[in-house]
Amino acid sequence: MVGHWQDGLKHCTIRRLPHQTLHSTQGKIGKNKAKQMDWRTKLLNPTPLARSDYRSLATPTYRGSTVVFETQSSVTDDWEQSKNGYSYGLYGTPTTLELAGRIAALEEAYSTFIVPGGQAAIALVYLACCTSGGHALVPHSAYGPNREMADGLLRRLGIKVEPYDPMIGAGIGELITDTTQLIWCESPGSVTMEVQDVPAIVAAAHARGVLVALDNTYAAGVLFDAFAHDVDISIQALTKYVGGHSDLLLGSVSVRDDSSYATIGPVYKQLGLAVSPDDCSLALRGLQTLAVRLEQLQSSTLIVAKWLAQQPCIETVFHPAFPSCPGHLYWKRDFTGSASVFSFLFKDNISAQQVTGFLEALVVFKLGLSWGGVTSLAVVYPALDRPGQDFGGRLVRLNIGLEAPDDLVDDLQNAILTGLK
């Protein structure tokens, strides 16, 4: 940088200078004589010293808010970085966009947005697709915070969200009004595991010009092909199976076509839904082992679920692969496998206090929320809101991890014997 003072104003010309030197054409230093940068300036303007031909199997982690441009005319503030080049770290770095691209490829989506978590993905879809005075439909079995947002923030914004029976299928057409803008599906449902007739719901929605969004977290974007079933928007909590190790918080919003992309994109920018490149790096690593983890989780989960179904104290096992699960036939028709989370209901002669004793007697299973990680988890839902159903604190959800199935069965058996007393 060369600074010239004229009439008390400093006019600066920026140009690339070799060897980090400053050349002055005037003054005491003399013509063509180089002045070395101060060491403090050198620290902030380093010349790369490491070799640049390094390659590895890992995607580099790029961190940064500011994007450096070559010319003033190239400076832009554009969220469509995958199309128009990088503009600002808020909209992603190469690490972020690599993860988005791989999720889009996994789901065979038109495009994918990476957001800070599953709930952020839900919020983005609602706020992009619904307007004041609008109407949306969400199943009773949806993720709890989805329902909370409907009853809280969205209601204050003048958006009416109406709950519906997850097993309604084509009958949802009777609930669609002239103001309906969005229908949510979540299949299987949260905790109670209802598998929805998504194709029938999509057909009814599209006949009235209504968008359908699916929480496809259970299927990890692969066990159920959302876009082959004409869903418009597929979201995932990447925290679960893609992350896979209970150590990150990320979500994704994948869209079917350019129309949905144009609906979601500007709101994504306006909400400032930036994500950590470090978390994206962990998710990229998780993708590499997703297939082998899903295979092992399915196998182990079926072993544990089948054992529980044979226990005299268990009323029902809610696992999509079991005929006892609502919508089991839809699972057989539409899914290519099952995952690690399911629920079971103790018989009504077991009290809520006994169920608590059972949970606290577990050793290998940990008590905690979320699922999809390598560690087996258990939690009871004492006040689950399902119309016409009162589980009386006897409904327990399990996430099966990568422990040996025999050890998990032994842990459950010991907890039944000692905790239900």
pLDDT value at residue 385: 81
pLDDT value at residue 390: 86
Residues 69, 71: Cα–Cα separation, whole Å: 6
Backbone angles phi, psi at 92, to 5 degrees: 125, 155
E runs forming strands in 2-151: 2-6, 9-13, 21-23, 34-36, 111-115, 135-139
The dihedral over CA atoms of 136, 140, 143, 147, expressed in degrees to the nearest 10, equals: 50
Q: State pLDDT tens for residues 285-301.
A: 999 999 999 999 999 99
- CATH 3.40.640.10 intervals, the chain: 73-288
When pLDDT is averaged across residues 214-218 and rounded to a whole number, the result is: 98
Query: How far is C-alpha 399 from the chain's CA centre?
Result: 18
Pairwise pLDDT comparison (311 vs 81), residue with the higher score: 311
Least confident of 41-50, 102-111, 250-259, 287-296: 41-50
- Amino acid at the residue 15: R
Name the CATH superfamily for 291-419: Aspartate Aminotransferase, domain 1 (3.90.1150.10)
Q: What is the pTM of this model?
A: 0.90
Q: Which CATH class is domain 73-288?
A: alpha beta
- Give me the half-sphere count of Cα atoms (radius 13 Å) on the Cβ side of residue 171: 8
For the chain, percent of residues with pLDDT exceeding 90: 83
Residue-averaged pLDDT of the chain: 92
Strands 377-380 and 395-399: antiparallel
Q: State pLDDT tens for residues 357-409.
A: 999 999 999 999 999 999 999 999 988 888 888 899 999 999 999 999 999 99
Exposed / middle / buried, residue 371 (Cβ in 10 Å: 0-12, 13-18, 19+): buried
The pLDDT-based confidence of 9 (bands split at 50, 70, 90) is: very low
- Give me the half-sphere count of Cα atoms (radius 13 Å) on the Cβ side of residue 371: 22
Contact assessment for residue 254 and residue 99, using Cβ atoms and an 8 Å cutoff: no
pLDDT value at residue 421: 83
Q: State pLDDT tens for residues 297-329.
A: 999 999 999 999 999 999 999 999 999 999 999
Given a cut of 60, whether residue 31 has pLDDT beyond it is: no
- CATH 3.90.1150.10 intervals, the chain: 291-419
For the chain, percent of residues with pLDDT exceeding 70: 92
Residue 111: strand pairing partners: 255
Least confident of 76-85, 216-225, 326-335: 76-85
Given a cut of 50, whether residue 174 has pLDDT beyond it is: yes
- The per-residue DSSP string of 159-226 comes to -EEEEE-TT-GGGGGGT--TTEEEEEEESSPTTT-PPP-HHHHHHHHHHTT-EEEEE-TTTTTTSS-T
